[in-house]
Amino acid sequence: MALLTDDECQADVVVLGTGLTESIVAAAVARSGRRVLHLDAAETYGGAGRSLPLREYIAWAGDARDARMPGDGVQAGGDLRSLPRHGWQRLWEPFAPRRTPETAEMPEETREQTEVPEGQRAFALSPERTECYAERSFEWDPFQQMNGIRRKKNELLRNPSAFSLDLSPRLLYGRSEHVDVLIESGVARYLEFQGLKFTRVLTSEGLISVPLTKSEIFQDAHLSKAEKRMLMRFITSIQPYVSSLAFQSAAQLGVDQAAKIKGPSDQSALGMELDGSWRAFLQQQNLSERLQDFITYSICLWDWAPTEAFPQLSCREALERLGAFISSLGLYGRGTSMPLLFPMYGIGEVSQGYTRLCAVHRGVYALRTRATHLLAQEEEDGTMQLSGLVTCRGEQIKASRLVAACGELLQDQVPSQSSSQHCRRMTVLLSSPPLGEEGVSLCVVPPQSLDPPLQNVVQVLQLDFSSGACPHGYFLAHLSQASISDPGPLPFADLDRVLEELLKRSPKTACIFRCRYLQRPRDVATRWDVSTRTGGFMERCLHEERLAVVSDPPAVPQLLAVQEVHDARRIFGSFFGAESAFLPKPQHVAEEEMSGSLEELEHFNQQMQAQEAQEAQEPPVASLVQEDAEQ
């Protein structure tokens, strides 16, 4: 049964799970010349932050039967040998003997008794695999307004790989640690990004675009003159803070260094208390309600309404967010000034990019491989040391260090617990752009925009063909809302209302499918029960920095990838010391940059020569003309 060769079973670091953070760690370890074995129990890359093609997405979200069609995979004129397995099942269903579900299900190999080598001990991990997504549901044509939904459905399912649907969509700031690491490590070479085209705010007056530059503020049609003046005054007065922050922001310094800096020292100019409430500060600045919402929700991208139950935005954090936003303005993309980047085909693609970097540096990859036991070596002094793990195929892997995604590592018979902060998500496929214009764009709905007010602010991310997420002529909207309280009976009511409101603006828009789910990141701290022997062992491995557990993608911020690189750097540093280089620039990237600039120089020289040649040719022509004239 064993697949991996003996040689591959000897690794320096085993990584379980192919989420973004784990993949970055794997790439960094492989890049430093150590041997990595990267496993994932799932069939696809990306862990909890994966991006799925349509069929897999439907199977994940709801009914697996919805994703299949009779005769699936039978090719034109071909014979049935090319038929995939589920296609066969489908064809034989009418005359296959009836089986009870118990026998139909493939029993997973249970290895109660693992042969453990001399002097080692095996600690069982939980065989159950849970996800951080709950209450998933998927419906075709949820509003029952479409004719021919069946035809449309078949048309979409015929080419399911035209979709790349994020479970937890993420954007990157144009200038951020993450983008720096992507470029430095050469992973950016594998990926493409789309710049955000515009940001809108849905207010009671309609969809309003957020003015970002002086000229945009000046030309804005929605703001009153007084508001424009207020906004300009605010921007001018906040300028010194933000511009100084642009140099001190986490993005430029690296998060760990930025954490040491106390923030802007000169606070007297605005009379700002850094730990004070941002909302109070904005009120003090005499900004109108609407402008306050603009700044807090669409520029700072704050996820919580000013309710007492929710976390409050402090001035320090707001300035940091403002700095990150403003320092990334106008960096990438033609004609767009928006500071956020969407990785084409979703965030799952970014983790795949890192896995490729790891593989190029001899990392070994095996999906569909689960760890069943941790192995420990008994030392002379009687303590246990992590020595490796056993896979579901019974391979014994030797490794002294282990990185595991939260979902891959749970002690047997310990229930998984979730944190109270969660994110309600809804993904819909529409036939025309819900935000009025095509392109990757963001819309924020402050709670007061609708009547009665929403429980919390809603963010809408619109994606189209250009982002690689859906086929031509269709539009995806990811709606999300952070929450802290119990979901209640109707957790998605607010999202539905926002969708309805957006659809009202373009009555011809059809909603082709709707998928709803709760994203509940699990608690890393309760992956094991410390009072048991296994739990105690795992806890000690964690303290001795031989084991690192990676948390699920956070519920808040809903649409930003901010923590992953920082976490990966921390894990890598804890394993090999902070002085070892984290994803240094590879030779070929340096060479490419060099040759790129050389090419540019050459191009410039050629242009200059051409111009000179032209100039050299021109005078005789001119003189001839003159001579003609003289004659």
Shortest reach from residue 181's CB to other proteins, in Å = 16
Q: Please tell me the distance from the alpha carbon of residue 433 to that of residue 200, in angstroms, as a whole number.
A: 13
Shortest reach from residue 355's CB to other proteins, in Å = 6
Pick between residue 73 and residue 254 the one whose CB is nearest to other proteins: 73
Q: Please tell me the distance from the alpha carbon of residue 281 to that of residue 317, in angstroms, as a whole number.
A: 13
Pick between residue 53 and residue 276 the one whose CB is nearest to other proteins: 53
Pick between residue 276 and residue 586 the one whose CB is nearest to other proteins: 586
Shortest reach from residue 465's CB to other proteins, in Å = 11
CA dist 591 → 186, 367, 370 (Å): 11, 33, 39
Pick between residue 14 and residue 423 the one whose CB is nearest to other proteins: 14
Pick between residue 78 and residue 119 the one whose CB is nearest to other proteins: 78
Binding region for other proteins (CB under 8 A):
3-4, 45, 71, 73-80, 82, 91, 94-95, 158-159, 161-162, 186, 189-192, 345, 349, 352-353, 355-357, 359-362, 364-369, 468, 586-588
DSSP 197: -
Which residue in 225, 221, 195 sits closest to 208, CA to CA?
221
Residue with tokens 């994110």: 423
Q: Where would I find the H helices in 484-532? A: 493-504
CA dist 468 → 30, 111, 369 (Å): 29, 42, 29
- The Cβ of residue 299 has, within 10 Å, a number of other Cβ atoms equal to 18
Q: Please tell me the distance from the alpha carbon of residue 560 to that of residue 556, in angstroms, as a whole number.
A: 8
Shortest reach from residue 361's CB to other proteins, in Å = 6
Handedness of CA 276, 282, 284, 285 (dihedral sign): positive
Chain-centre distance for alpha carbon 102: 37
Structure tokens at 349: 């693609």
Which residue in 389, 370, 385, 378 sits closest to 114, CA to CA?
389
Strand intervals (E) in 18-132: 36-39, 51-52, 120-124
Residue with tokens 């707001």: 318
Pick between residue 269 and residue 610 the one whose CB is nearest to other proteins: 610
Q: Please tell me the distance from the alpha carbon of residue 159 to that of residue 157, in angstroms, as a whole number.
A: 5
Pick between residue 426 and residue 440 the one whose CB is nearest to other proteins: 440
Q: Please tell me the distance from the alpha carbon of residue 540 to that of residue 547, in angstroms, as a whole number.
A: 9
Shortest reach from residue 40's CB to other proteins, in Å = 8
Q: Can you give the C-alpha Rg of the chain in angstroms?
A: 28
> Pairing relation of β-strands 384-391 and 371-378?
antiparallel
Pick between residue 342 and residue 537 the one whose CB is nearest to other proteins: 342
Q: Please tell me the distance from the alpha carbon of residue 18 to that of residue 9, in angstroms, as a whole number.
A: 18
Phi, psi (degrees; rounded to nearest 5) at 384? -100, 140
Q: Of how many residues is the chain composed?
A: 631
Pick between residue 74 and residue 510 the one whose CB is nearest to other proteins: 74
Shortest reach from residue 450's CB to other proteins, in Å = 38
Shortest reach from residue 461's CB to other proteins, in Å = 21
Residue with tokens 């001899």: 362
Pick between residue 369 and residue 519 the one whose CB is nearest to other proteins: 369
Pick between residue 161 and residue 383 the one whose CB is nearest to other proteins: 161
Shortest reach from residue 417's CB to other proteins, in Å = 31
